[in-house]
Amino acid sequence: MSASAATSGASIVATEQDLHEIGEIVARHAQLEGPLLPMLHALQDMFGHVPQAAIPVIADALNLTRAEVHGVMSFYHDFRKAKAGRHTVKICRAEACQARGANTLAATALAKLGVEWHGTTTDGAITVEPVYCLGLCANGPNAMVDGRVVAGLDETRLDALLAEART
Ligand code: FES
């Protein structure tokens, strides 16, 4: 086996050690009932994202196509295809927050940071992800910063949060 396996598109490389750990995690979860989600969570816990190199290993172990594995990863927004930045800002995109201006707020924040959804700023400080309801709908627009819910955002407050995350 080669020392590394480059993935398509992204410059993500799996080392021999990564491949070994991927194989162990997949094997450990393969016998569970409903193994795919626990497997993906375990991989993300280990690597901070689900490595591209894990997709064919999972697909083989569970007798799925790679597209099916990708489909599940895309459906559950928590799974990352690349490592996150030092801070994760999740902006609520569910209906109530949208009605209170979340779309405009998010679009402005993404433009200021120079990223798309799921993107990470070039300094590695912030990853922006969507989230679908944080349970504080009446107080939106809302976000979650490193697991802490922040309600009642406006552009000024969000700017301050983002600036704080970059310091
Ligand atoms: S819709 Fe955003 S918190 Fe519920």
H or E element: which one contains 87?
A: strand 87-92
Question: Distance, CA 21 to ligand 1 centroid (Å)?
Answer: 37
- For residue 144, what is the DSSP state? E
- Tell me: pLDDT of 139 over 80: yes
CATH architecture of 87-166: 3-Layer(aba) Sandwich (3.40)
Q: Which residue has the tokens 């021999």?
A: 16
- Tell me: pLDDT of 32 over 90: yes
Distance CA 162, CA 153 (A): 12
The domain limits of the chain are 4-75, 87-166
Q: Which residues line ligand 1 (CB under 6 A)?
A: 92, 94-97, 133-137, 140, 142
Structure tokens at 66: 């790679």
State the pLDDT at residue 117.
Answer: 92
Q: In the sheet where 87-92 sits, what is the strand order?
A: 126-131, 87-92, 143-145, 148-150
The response to whether 13 counts as a known ligand-binding position is: no
Relative to the CA of 137, which ligand 1 atom is closest?
Answer: 4
Q: Which of 78, 90, 82, 98 is nearest to 141 (CA)?
A: 98
Q: pLDDT per residue over 52-84, tens digit each?
A: 999 999 999 999 999 999 999 989 878 988 889
What predicted TM-score, i.e. pTM, was given to this entire model?
0.74
Q: Which residues contact 59 (CB under 8 A, 6 or more apart)?
A: 65, 66, 68, 69
Phi and psi for 52 in degrees, rounded to 5?
Answer: -55, -35
Question: Distance, CA 103 to ligand 1 centroid (Å)?
Answer: 12
Which residue did the predictor score with more confidence, 25 or 48? 25
The response to whether 156 counts as a known ligand-binding position is: no
